[in-house]
Structure 1
Amino acid sequence: MERLRHDDPPRIGPHTTLARFDAEPEQAVPARRFIVRSADGDRTLLAFLPRTDVDPTRWAVEAEGARRLSIPGFLPVGEVGGTAELPWCTAPYVPALPLPAALRAHGLPLPEPVVRALGAALARTLATAHAQGVTHAGLSPAAVLLTTEGPRMGCFGAVRAAAPDGERRSGLPGLDSGSLAPEQAAGGRPRPLGDVYALGAVLAYAATGHTVPERDELPSSLRELISACLSRDPERRPRAHQVLTHLEPAARTPVHEATVLDGAAPIPLPAPVVAALARQSAQVLAAELPAPGSLD
């Protein structure tokens, strides 16, 4: 959470802007992210605006697509509004840290048991989505929001919003090149195995603190799995439900491709990350207090 800057919008739709969500502008997400208060003062929300170098029309289409979804573990989009030139959307707010901020709070990297639990939660979410015929097409470290209720996937459809199928997407604004499957970078249609590639990139980052780590830097117990997820050949990658089975072999229910699962569950978070979430919560509460004299 960061104070607003002079060029930040004081309002987003009917909502009052309280603060930036990201301490530093994230180059690898397609949206500017803010914490806002509803017009009635009763709700705190996350609000999203397209980056100035992102096509607002394509961005709005993906925001509306996210609004229509109900997949546990996806960041739920509640409102979509604005104009064709300046669309916006919101999601319910809970204290949350993007994965890069969580690693900075912890001091890089996350402990291996946390990485495994995070991977299982994200794989469960992707398996659920894929069983419903939905490809996330936007997973990256900055798109993963850690909360005490479990991780949430934002940036739905970022790959589709960046450019239409058939156009190269390498180096386009709003995309994390390290999380972009080679076939999608070349302009291929986003498919579930592209999500698995992105999952491998997220886990590699969480386990090492590096966006493109060497294979030997990965924890030995996760090395083969992450390397398989990051295979350049999509058919050599495991499916999301297979990743879940590897990370959580004692799953409560048998996992197979047609299973619709329960979505992300709480994962153990290191104490510094929990403390950072508590600080953010306190800052938001303080920001929502009436200004001195406003109740006179």
Structure 2
Amino acid sequence: MDQLLATDPSWVGGHRLVARLGAGGMGVVYLARSPHGAWVALKVIRSEYAEDPDFLARFRRETELATRLSSRWTVPVLTADADARSPWLATAYVPGLPLSEALALHGPWPVPQVRTLAAALAAALDDVHRAGLVHRDVKPANVLLAADGPRLIDFGIALAVGATALTADGSVIGSPGYLSPEQARGTTVGPAGDVFSLGCVLVHSLTGRPPFGAGGAAAVLYRTVHEEPDLAGLPRELDAALRACLAKSADERPTVARLRDLFGSFDSRSWLPGGLPAVVAERAGRVLDLPVPEPTELSAAVADPPPATSRRRLIAASAALGVGALGGGTAWWQWGRPRTGSGAGKRTLPTRVIGLLGDRSNEAVRSQERGAGIAVAEHNGRADRPFDLALRAVDDRGTAAGSAAGAAGLAADPDVHAVIGAGSNEAVPAAVPVCTKAGLCLLVTRADSTRLNVVHTTSTLVLRATRTAGPGAVLRYLNRVVHPQRTAVVYDLADEEESLPTVQIVTVHGHLDGRVDVLEVAAGDGFGAAARDIAAHPDDVVLFAGATPSRAAACAAALKAAGHRGVRVADEHVLSAAFLRAGEGWWISTGYADAADPRLRAFTAAYRARHGGVPGPWAAEAYDAVRFAAHGLAAPGGDGRRESLRAELLRAPWQGITRRFSYESQSQYLETTPDGGWFLYHVEGGRARFVARQDAIGRST
């Protein structure tokens, strides 16, 4: 339990917030007083989910089902509001100790106490499933130990039986180490998944360790899918039942009704192991002594409804944050100015402004400005154009604050119909909520961050293939050309969250042929030990899963020193001067095309004529972004409003010079087609040389 932050509200739906109970990917849980004075646990869902109508419909349905759930062993949902700016739900607050904390403090439980714990949790799941719900996140942290028995809590990612999953297939919801193999694969989850998770919880309670071990999430998920659980030390009387719960196939697991027969009924006499009753009682007593806090800064700031924000105020706010929204940080392309006809018969065309947001001291952003400018000039040179285009480049200084302020300045201008997010992983995500609130379509060309994985709930479209789908070009190269027998994946835990999708793609989802072994390298460690292990099989393939160039360079140097001779691959995020010096011979998968790509021939000629050189990385992608936006704005039957642009862009595939833009109907992610926008490079002589686009690999390499 923690104090409220200055950014937390003081009130939600008439409930007075008192403290923080926890936070996760879906939102924040607060301890609060209801309008009637009762203690409640109030979960506030992250605001971006409020933009997803499918999520809101599911949230309403599931909270309605949960309010009907009546079980001694669950915590009832008291009220909820799916229409709030940030949807929320309130459950009864039960003071107690999470099972995860109890195991960490006091170790494994004796068999009699685990059996009675199992009886209560099986009864809880039976009631949950009878109510038409699947919990999907049964783990020790979601089992609350109260004085009168356990409670299964947190239905924040629960799913109504038979409903569409919260995320598309290929995504993983739940907690690694306790979720089922079908969850790890990102496929449909039913009641049997909860049985598997219950088995993991009970094994952990008996042995003091999770059955699929510890470590990085990717390694745990891989063991869950492909390896047998560690059940050493299980007592004989519970061994058979728990082994059945942990069957890889959902069809082979017992039902919760069968488990209730096996575990018997809850025994309230001394159900907690020695030492825990006093801890639970002490934890419950803390709530009684809590003072009501002063209003948070956020609540004080919005005590009165704020006045409508004018364009002038937004621009002033941008300037205060160091971003010249209309001044020195803004560049108007000469060929992008409105074209007003003169004389009889001349028509005046409306102007659609496209913003470009990024750090203008960065060469990749400057390259995108030039590429986007060529698209604007080409559009304005067409006699049949329905409108003129203008390009406005805003400098975000490469920071999140600058990105948010720059996006606000662009959004304040009604002539701005789209924004190209040309910046970095650090900056671009901060522009997403600003553009979403304004109904302004944000087109992301370069950033590749896990923080952009939920943009299907916003007004944003990611125009590039991402690590969520894996480093496509090198995977195709390995499978089509190299045919590896064994690949060692060096998983750099310094970039654990950002690199996890790549590791999942080649392990859990099996997108790489042959045997795959994962070697985890801790954030503070070097790569010498891993390189020596790999060098025991010097001709094996190595895939570096990391995103820090200096770490990649160190890995490359360690492999060379250890005598590794096999193929080595990575993705674009490792590229730097240091890596190019150390990584001779590596194969790299990128999301940007190269001037040597035949499909860029006309663009390259136009770029050379205007700027006197070949286009750099991401220039062609920005050129496509402008053309894609213009295509959507001019769509037949469209209303031309910026709020409608994203829907028009999703309506049908569009072919650019870099890739085919086609989006999956449910997830709204860029489809991973053969022409999905991956490009293969080879490090030679201290530079990355273009080899082929993804769909040509195996034919020309």
- Same fold per TM (> 0.5)? yes
In the alignment, the residues of structure 1 paired with residue 48 and residue 115 of structure 2 have an alpha-carbon distance, to the nearest angstrom, of: 35
CA contact (8 A) 1:50 1:86 kept: yes
- Aligned: 1:96 with 2:92: no
- Aligned: 1:44 with 2:54: no
Q: 1:168 to 1:239 in 2, by over 3 A?
A: same
In the alignment, the residues of structure 2 paired with residue 114 and residue 159 of structure 1 have an alpha-carbon distance, to the nearest angstrom, of: 27
Matching residue's letter, 1:240: V
In the alignment, the residues of structure 2 paired with residue 71 and residue 285 of structure 1 have an alpha-carbon distance, to the nearest angstrom, of: 26
Partner SS state of residue 193, structure 1: helix
CA drift of 1:287 comes to 0.8
- Partner residue, 1:13: 13
In the alignment, the residues of structure 2 paired with residue 72 and residue 190 of structure 1 have an alpha-carbon distance, to the nearest angstrom, of: 25
| 1:264-283 pair list within 5 angstroms | 266=268, 268-283=271-286
Q: 1:163 to 1:192 in 2, by over 3 A?
A: closer
Q: 1:281 to 1:71 in 2, by over 3 A?
A: closer
CA drift of 1:146 comes to 1.5
CA drift of 1:133 comes to 4.8
- Aligned: 1:34 with 2:36: no
CA drift of 1:117 comes to 0.9
Q: 1:178 to 1:84 in 2, by over 3 A?
A: farther
- TM-score normalised by structure 2 residue count: 0.35
CA drift of 1:176 comes to 0.8
- Partner residue, 1:261: none
- Partner residue, 1:294: none
Deviation readout 1:11-49 (Å, 9 max, x if unpaired): 332112222224xx567xx44222111235x21111112
In the alignment, the residues of structure 2 paired with residue 197 and residue 226 of structure 1 have an alpha-carbon distance, to the nearest angstrom, of: 9
CA contact (8 A) 1:121 1:265 kept: no
CA contact (8 A) 1:60 1:88 kept: no
- Partner residue, 1:231: 247
- Aligned: 1:181 with 2:180: yes
Partner SS state of residue 19, structure 1: strand
In the alignment, the residues of structure 2 paired with residue 232 and residue 244 of structure 1 have an alpha-carbon distance, to the nearest angstrom, of: 21
Partner SS state of residue 183, structure 1: helix
CA contact (8 A) 1:67 1:80 kept: no
CA drift of 1:110 comes to 2.4
CA contact (8 A) 1:165 1:189 kept: no
Partner SS state of residue 279, structure 1: helix
Of stretches 180-189 and 198-207 in structure 1, the one that deviates more from structure 2 is: 180-189
What 5-or-longer segments of structure 1 have no aligned partner? 252-263, 292-296
In the alignment, the residues of structure 1 paired with residue 209 and residue 48 of structure 2 have an alpha-carbon distance, to the nearest angstrom, of: 26
Matching residue's letter, 1:44: W
- TM-score normalised by structure 1 residue count: 0.77
Partner SS state of residue 222, structure 1: helix
Instruction: Please report the RMSD computed on the Cα atoms of aligned residues, expressed in angstroms.
Output: 3.1
Q: 1:194 to 1:118 in 2, by over 3 A?
A: same
More strand per residue: 2
In the alignment, the residues of structure 2 paired with residue 209 and residue 279 of structure 1 have an alpha-carbon distance, to the nearest angstrom, of: 24
Partner SS state of residue 287, structure 2: helix
Deviation readout 1:272-291 (Å, 9 max, x if unpaired): 33222222222211115799
* Identical positions, percent: 34
In the alignment, the residues of structure 1 paired with residue 15 and residue 92 of structure 2 have an alpha-carbon distance, to the nearest angstrom, of: 13
In the alignment, the residues of structure 1 paired with residue 47 and residue 137 of structure 2 have an alpha-carbon distance, to the nearest angstrom, of: 18
Partner SS state of residue 90, structure 2: strand
CA drift of 1:119 comes to 0.6
CA drift of 1:94 comes to 2.4
In the alignment, the residues of structure 1 paired with residue 6 and residue 41 of structure 2 have an alpha-carbon distance, to the nearest angstrom, of: 19
Deviation readout 1:191-212 (Å, 9 max, x if unpaired): 2211111111111222233233
In the alignment, the residues of structure 1 paired with residue 176 and residue 46 of structure 2 have an alpha-carbon distance, to the nearest angstrom, of: 17
In the alignment, the residues of structure 1 paired with residue 40 and residue 182 of structure 2 have an alpha-carbon distance, to the nearest angstrom, of: 35
Match of 1:167 among 147, 166, 169: 169
CA contact (8 A) 1:95 1:281 kept: yes
CA contact (8 A) 2:14 2:35 kept: yes
Matching residue's letter, 1:223: D
- Partner residue, 2:115: 116
- Partner residue, 1:141: 140
CA contact (8 A) 1:10 1:17 kept: yes
Q: 1:14 to 1:265 in 2, by over 3 A?
A: farther
More relative contact order, 1 or 2 (CA 8 Å, 6+ apart): 1
In the alignment, the residues of structure 2 paired with residue 205 and residue 51 of structure 1 have an alpha-carbon distance, to the nearest angstrom, of: 31
CA contact (8 A) 1:164 1:187 kept: no
In the alignment, the residues of structure 1 paired with residue 147 and residue 244 of structure 2 have an alpha-carbon distance, to the nearest angstrom, of: 29
In the alignment, the residues of structure 2 paired with residue 112 and residue 53 of structure 1 have an alpha-carbon distance, to the nearest angstrom, of: 45
CA drift of 1:131 comes to 4.6
Q: 1:289 to 1:155 in 2, by over 3 A?
A: closer
Q: 1:21 to 1:208 in 2, by over 3 A?
A: farther
CA contact (8 A) 1:130 1:192 kept: yes
Structure ID, larger Rg: 2
Matching residue's letter, 2:81: G
CA contact (8 A) 1:136 1:195 kept: yes
| 1:182-201 pair list within 5 angstroms | 182-201=181-200
CA contact (8 A) 2:62 2:158 kept: no
Of stretches 197-206 and 82-91 in structure 1, the one that deviates more from structure 2 is: 82-91
Deviation readout 1:44-91 (Å, 9 max, x if unpaired): 111112357877635565334322322332221001026454111111
Q: 1:52 to 1:141 in 2, by over 3 A?
A: farther
CA contact (8 A) 1:33 1:47 kept: yes
In the alignment, the residues of structure 2 paired with residue 101 and residue 91 of structure 1 have an alpha-carbon distance, to the nearest angstrom, of: 21
Deviation readout 1:171-200 (Å, 9 max, x if unpaired): x4xx21222222233343332211111111
Match of 2:289 among 272, 283, 286: 286
- Partner residue, 2:202: 203
Matching residue's letter, 1:156: F
CA contact (8 A) 1:19 1:36 kept: yes
In the alignment, the residues of structure 1 paired with residue 102 and residue 171 of structure 2 have an alpha-carbon distance, to the nearest angstrom, of: 28
- Partner residue, 1:218: 234
- Aligned: 1:68 with 2:64: no
Partner SS state of residue 146, structure 1: strand
In the alignment, the residues of structure 2 paired with residue 53 and residue 205 of structure 1 have an alpha-carbon distance, to the nearest angstrom, of: 35
CA contact (8 A) 2:140 2:201 kept: yes
In the alignment, the residues of structure 2 paired with residue 143 and residue 290 of structure 1 have an alpha-carbon distance, to the nearest angstrom, of: 27
In the alignment, the residues of structure 2 paired with residue 206 and residue 84 of structure 1 have an alpha-carbon distance, to the nearest angstrom, of: 39
In the alignment, the residues of structure 1 paired with residue 192 and residue 38 of structure 2 have an alpha-carbon distance, to the nearest angstrom, of: 37
